[in-house]
């Protein structure tokens, strides 16, 4: 098996809208497939929105992103990277997550990522809501045996206290939980883009108390994104770092298809530049979450999400 077998078919051969849609037309390598041993970077879907506090639909995210991502071509327009040549990337399929049982769903997801890590596959998780990220962080923590850094691009910190009285975990607190569980090193945790109304800013206060670097939107806009991302690189440093991208980081004019949109965010151009600025970090995993196709009538959010995914993969090239 040569590297060529891992490259997606070109849109000049099979039109982009044709064919069974795997992520970016990559080979589909489900559990049990012998090619797993060769995969470098694995895209894995978590079609689950069981921790969503507002509008649902992120369970349809992996399907929507697979569809849109067949429009991605092989070469990065600006950097001329060809990540599918330099790395063996694959679609690992979706985790079977129960839509009605949070505990089961999270356990299944963590196990699936653990299975990838056992093969030294770097995970690129496609959500699903943001609590899905916690399962990747947990698996990485167990696999690596120590905490790691985080760069989060999002309109929310996801450091909120539990709400609704019951279950501790929602899509509003994966990073608080991950800090409490020792997955993340808060001093190497960087967050940018936060905005919108707030219950009480307790999340930001909590994060800063722990040492998390949080740059709210007013500061981002005032300083410019290049400066913000320079800080991100400095905070993450040379150590192992996870990158999480919530599609609601981007202004809802560009990304309406999400559950908890916050107006007043960056453009798609700025968002892609932010991801591109992460090249050179030691990225041990990444995700794109909270794309909700039922709220995306023109399909633009899925297409933007697919573009972000490609940018993430390019940033992971070593």
Q: Which residue among 195, 235, 242, 286 contacts a copy of itself (CB under 8 A)?
A: 195
Residue 177 near residue 133 (C-beta atoms within 8 A): no
Which residue from 121, 159, 115 is spatially nearest to 139, judged by alpha carbons?
Answer: 115
Q: Residue 39: CB partners within 8 Å, gap ≥ 6?
A: 29, 88, 89, 90, 92, 116, 119, 121
- Closest approach of a copy of itself to the CB of residue 131, in Å: 9
Containing H/E element for 303? helix 300-316
- Closest approach of a copy of itself to the CB of residue 147, in Å: 26
Q: Taking CB under 8 A as the rule, does residue 280 contact a copy of itself?
A: no
Q: Which residue among 25, 42, 50, 241 contacts a copy of itself (CB under 8 A)?
A: 50
User: d(Cα 59, Cα 202) in Å, to the nearest integer?
Assistant: 29
**Which class for 165: exposed (0-12), middle (13-18), buried (19 or more C-beta within 10 A)?**
exposed
Rg over alpha carbons for the chain, rounded to the nearest Å, is 18
Q: Which residue among 191, 283, 304, 313 contacts a copy of itself (CB under 8 A)?
A: 304
Which residue from 14, 9, 52, 50 is spatially nearest to 28, judged by alpha carbons?
Answer: 9
Q: Taking CB under 8 A as the rule, does residue 33 contact a copy of itself?
A: no
Q: Which residue among 113, 147, 232, 272 contacts a copy of itself (CB under 8 A)?
A: 272
Q: Taking CB under 8 A as the rule, does residue 253 contact a copy of itself?
A: yes
- Closest approach of a copy of itself to the CB of residue 70, in Å: 8
User: d(Cα 248, Cα 98) in Å, to the nearest integer?
Assistant: 24
Q: Which residue among 75, 111, 118, 234 contacts a copy of itself (CB under 8 A)?
A: 75
Q: Which residue among 72, 87, 191, 214 contacts a copy of itself (CB under 8 A)?
A: 72
- Closest approach of a copy of itself to the CB of residue 185, in Å: 26
Q: Taking CB under 8 A as the rule, does residue 22 contact a copy of itself?
A: yes
Which residue from 170, 169, 176 is spatially nearest to 191, judged by alpha carbons?
Answer: 176
Q: Which residue among 2, 13, 34, 209 contacts a copy of itself (CB under 8 A)?
A: 13
Indicate the residue among 92 and 286 with the shorter CB distance to a copy of itself.
Answer: 92
User: d(Cα 156, Cα 59) in Å, to the nearest integer?
Assistant: 20
Residue 217 near residue 267 (C-beta atoms within 8 A): no
Q: Taking CB under 8 A as the rule, does residue 1 contact a copy of itself?
A: no
- 90-149 residues in contact with a copy of itself (CB under 8 A) are 91, 93-105
Q: Taking CB under 8 A as the rule, does residue 199 contact a copy of itself?
A: yes
User: Distances from the Cα of 182 to the Cαs of 100, 176, 241, in angstroms?
Assistant: 28, 10, 14
- Closest approach of a copy of itself to the CB of residue 157, in Å: 11
- 216-245 residues in contact with a copy of itself (CB under 8 A) are 216-218, 221
Q: Taking CB under 8 A as the rule, does residue 193 contact a copy of itself?
A: no
Q: Taking CB under 8 A as the rule, does residue 67 contact a copy of itself?
A: yes
Q: Taking CB under 8 A as the rule, does residue 49 contact a copy of itself?
A: yes
Residue 60 near residue 293 (C-beta atoms within 8 A): yes
Containing H/E element for 242? strand 240-246
Strand partners, 246: 289
Kindly state the number of chain residues that form the binding site for a copy of itself, as judged by CB under 8 A: 99
- Closest approach of a copy of itself to the CB of residue 281, in Å: 20
Q: Which residue among 35, 38, 55, 233 contacts a copy of itself (CB under 8 A)?
A: 55
Q: Which residue among 47, 127, 149, 285 contacts a copy of itself (CB under 8 A)?
A: 47
Q: How many CB atoms lie within 10 A of CB 102?
A: 18
């Amino acid at each position: 098996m040569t590297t060529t077998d891992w490259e997606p078919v070109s849109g000049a051969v099979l039109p982009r809208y044709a064919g069974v849609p795997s992520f970016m037309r990559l080979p589909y390598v489900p559990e049990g497939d012998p090619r797993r041993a060769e995969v470098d970077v694995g895209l894995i879907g978590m079609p689950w929105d069981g921790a969503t506090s507002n509008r649902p639909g992120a369970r349809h995210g992996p399907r929507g992103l697979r569809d849109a991502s067949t429009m991605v071509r092989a070469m990065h327009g600006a950097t001329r990277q060809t990540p599918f040549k330099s790395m063996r990337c694959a679609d690992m399929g979706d985790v079977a997550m129960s839509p009605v049982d949070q505990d089961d769903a999270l356990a299944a997801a963590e196990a699936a990522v653990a299975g990838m890590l056992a093969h030294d596959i770097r995970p690129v998780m496609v959500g699903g809501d943001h609590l899905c990220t916690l399962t990747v962080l947990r698996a990485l923590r167990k696999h690596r045996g120590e905490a790691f850094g985080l760069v989060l691009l999002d309109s929310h910190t996801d450091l909120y206290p539990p709400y609704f009285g019951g279950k501790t975990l929602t899509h509003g607190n994966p990073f608080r939980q991950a800090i409490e569980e020792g997955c993340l090193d808060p001093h190497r945790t960087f967050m940018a883009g936060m905005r919108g109304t707030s219950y009480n800013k307790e999340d930001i206060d909590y994060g800063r108390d722990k040492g998390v670097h949080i740059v709210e939107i007013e500061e981002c806009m005032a300083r410019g994104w290049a400066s913000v991302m320079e800080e991100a690189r400095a905070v993450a440093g040379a150590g192992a770092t996870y990158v999480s991208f919530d599609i609601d980081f981007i202004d809802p004019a560009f990304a309406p298809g999400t559950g908890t949109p916050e107006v007043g965010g960056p453009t798609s151009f700025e968002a892609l530049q932010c991801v591109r600025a992460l090249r050179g970090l030691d990225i041990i995993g990444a995700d794109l979450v909270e794309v909700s196709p039922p709220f995306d009538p023109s399909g633009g959010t899925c297409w933007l999400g697919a573009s972000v995914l490609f940018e993430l993969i390019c940033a992971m090239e070593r």
